[in-house]
Amino acid sequence: MPSGNAQSANAPTSVTVVHDRGLKRDIGKVGLLFTGVGSIIGSGWLFGAFDAASMAGPAAILSWAIGAVMIIFVAINYSELGVMFPVAGGVVRYPHYAFGSFASYTSGWITWLSAAGTVGIEVLAAVQYASSYLPWLMESKEGVLVLTGRGILVSVAMVLVFCIINMYGVKFFANFNNILVWWKLLVIVLVFVVLAILAFNPGHFHMAEFGGFAPNGFEPILAALPAAGIVFSYLGFRQGVEFAGETKNPQKNVPFAVIGSIILTGIIYILLQVAFIGAIPTDLLKDGWSGLSFSNSAGPWAEIAIMLGAMWLAIVLYIDAVVSPADTGLIFTALTPRLSYSQARVGNAPSGLAKLNKKGIPWVGLLVTFVVACFLFFPFPSWAKMVGFITSGTVISFGSGPIAVAALRRQLPDQERPFRIPGGDTLPFLGFLAANLIVYWTGWDTNWKLFLAMALGYVVLGLHYAFSNRSKIPPLQFGSGWWMLVWIGSLALLSFLGDYGEGLGVLSFGWGELACLVLTVIVFAIGVATRLAPHDVVKNVENTRQVSAETHETE
């Protein structure tokens, strides 16, 4: 176990922050906020309101509110980290600073895989809506819409377009994204206002005929967070952190973008859920909320508009159903190569992934993103099949952030923190608990695939160490990162024993949540206790600087 627990008299208590060389700091305050808002408002709102209402009835409103609060608990930790170390791919690099290479690889592998998958899932959402008027794009198999051969070709072409746009530099990307975000916001406001005017039935929220406000109890309200894509919808807040190294004033812009994007979109999503519940034609509720269905499952919002006689709104929605997720896919196409760039910067991936073109874009990582995003269309050919996997994986990748906050406060107590969350370890602990609960609620039927993917990641790590130049690879520092195996293994066991998503049901509702709380207490304490010594933190930060300089000089 490392000696990071005790501060020696001459131990460093801060480190000089040096921004990544080669990256262009061209994103302004609104631009950074809009990368978060644009990423959050993707495919989630197109399907989330329908799926959440089917599971929880009108109480789906609470699901969106709870989801926003839980994600804020996680995200606020990254506001402190992102301002303290405004670097690209921070979700990967913060665990590396605090716990070493093994911890950062564990977090970085699933982060990168989830981000690449998000590119695919947003493309799938756009294609699924488009299949309403281009039926040759998708076909129904076992009641689930999946891509046809021609649909896969169209999807691959969309990913290629995203990559080409990103090759023109972060400033061009940010300006292009700002236009699309304004479009998305205007469409959502239009939907809410028009549906509220055309059809709003207050009885849908409380009438006993439909099961009341919470027809299926409280448990589905929580299960809907991952299963209905609610948490997935909010995870775009990360862009404010990932692009921290490319914004002009990270001290102000990062917290504004991270927290602001969640609050703004949380209000939007709650209003949309209210509009959806109030506008549902009453005859569709004859079998209750759990029996809610549409003849065209590819586009529930557009079908409601058609039923209400607003064909013009349906046309706008069909256009937005391509534009909205496509914008989010564009953003994640920009994010994913920055994650592989960060992995290369800390030595956990081939150094070629850190190469930048003249516009400051990690072009090798962008090429790898294209290949992986397209490959994922084959095992996950539908939105419904991919969303749970992406949600759980991304939340696990965020889970190490709160513990990194608690550790770095002890390792570098004198480090300048222009934004510091109050309350000591309280908010970091709540952020870690929120992440664990979300993964638990995702359910075993999805989580087993995630844990298998993480196991395969360790195989990849072993191959990297076996066939790479050892002089250019950092030590694993396993003594400070082994707690992540305890964390992941315990989460897998809880998920297997729980009663969500085909678990064994040994832990019933309430007991499973209590077990998750106990797990959080234990792992949080172990993680903080096994943190690196301060001089190792300084060394890890300085080593990434050296890689940055070497990479910049080779361009």
Whether the CB-CB separation of 419 and 80 falls below 8 Å is answered with: yes
The amino acid at 270: I
Whether the CB-CB separation of 370 and 376 falls below 8 Å is answered with: no
What is the pLDDT at residue 143?
Answer: 67
Contacts for 208 with CB less than 8 Å, ≥ 6 apart: none
Task: Write down the domain spans for the chain.
Answer: 31-554
DSSP-derived secondary structure for 140-199: EETTEEEE-HHHHHHHHHHHHHHHHHHTT-HHHHHHHHHHHHHHHHHHHHHHHHHHHHH-
What is the pLDDT at residue 242?
Answer: 65
Q: Which two tokens stand for residue 89?
A: 């791919």
Q: What is the distance between the alpha carbons of residues 421 and 416, in angstroms, rounded to a whole number?
A: 13
Nearest partner of 254 among 37, 78, 398, judged by Cα: 78
Q: What is the distance between the alpha carbons of residues 302 and 288, in angstroms, rounded to a whole number?
A: 21
What is the pLDDT at residue 108?
Answer: 82
- In CATH terms, the fold of domain 31-554 is Amino acid/polyamine transporter I (1.20.1740)
For the entire predicted model, the pTM comes to: 0.77
Q: What is the mean pLDDT of each run of 10 residues along the chain (555 residues)?
A: 46 62 61 77 77 91 94 89 76 86 86 82 81 83 78 90 78 73 85 87 85 86 84 78 67 82 90 90 84 70 86 87 80 82 76 78 86 75 66 83 94 86 92 92 86 87 76 80 94 93 88 95 96 88 56 41
What is the pLDDT at residue 6?
Answer: 44
Cα-Cα-Cα-Cα dihedral sign, residues 407, 412, 417, 423: positive
| Backbone torsion region of residue 420, taken as left when φ is above 0, otherwise alpha when ψ lies between -120 and 50, otherwise beta | beta
Q: What is the distance between the alpha carbons of residues 310 and 47, in angstroms, rounded to a whole number?
A: 19
Whether the CB-CB separation of 187 and 317 falls below 8 Å is answered with: yes
Whether the CB-CB separation of 122 and 46 falls below 8 Å is answered with: no
Strand partners, 507: 498
